[in-house]
Homo-oligomer: A and B are copies of this chain.
Amino acid sequence: MEKVKKRSECPISCSLDIFGDRWSLLIIRDMMFANKSTYGDFLKSAEGIATNILASRLQSLEENKLIEKLEHPDSKAKVLYRLTQKSIDLLPLIVEVHLWADKYFDIPADIKAMIKEVKKDKNKFISSMTKQLKNQLDTEKKVNG
């Protein structure tokens, strides 16, 4: 039940209202690149998100349709979180974050490899990864939906 306060009509401002915090894009990252999909998965990430913050971000992301909650195929105790088209469409933006960071930070080797692929052919990387991510859609049954 978090308030949705739009500060202006500016597209950047509206976007930041949704994912302009220090955690939301990291959850998206985990889902996009690390194939994480559960609450426990996200908790294990290097940045160390607190449990209450994770719960609050997951709720906000769901309210903003960037993720969906599904029944987990392996267990009723688990919840499966999945990207939506809306969040998959953030890939080009996230790729640009990587390219910018590559210019100004030291990047770990494994990620550096991915960035190398991006630099080789950005559009190809994005379209092939987008296709891959889309394959995960429409395959599971939504929960509470």
- Supposing A93-B96, A96-B93 touch, asked if A16 and B26 sit within 8 A by C-beta, the answer is yes
Contacts of A108 in B (CB 8 A): 9-10
The interface stretch among A17-25, A50-58, A69-77, A137-145 is A17-25
Whether a CB of chain B sits under 8 angstroms from the CB of A111 is yes
Whether a CB of chain B sits under 8 angstroms from the CB of A94 is yes
Per assembly, the copies of the chain total 2
* Residues of chain A in range 80-132 having any CB-CB distance to chain B below 8 Å: 86, 89-90, 92-108, 111, 115
Query: What band does the interface of chain A fall in when counting residues whose beta carbon is under 8 Å from B?
Result: 35 or more
Interface on chain A toward B: helix, strand, loop, or mixed SS? Answer: helix
Whether a CB of chain B sits under 8 angstroms from the CB of A35 is no
Q: Are A29 and B46 in contact (CB under 8 A)?
A: no
Given contacts A10-B47, A90-B100, 15 further A-B contacts (CB under 8 A): A7-B22, A8-B47, A10-B108, A11-B105, A11-B107, A11-B111, A12-B26, A12-B98, A15-B105, A16-B25, A16-B26, A20-B21, A21-B21, A92-B100, A93-B97
> What are 7 A-B contacts with C-beta separation under 8 Å?
A11-B98, A11-B115, A12-B97, A20-B22, A21-B21, A93-B100, A96-B96
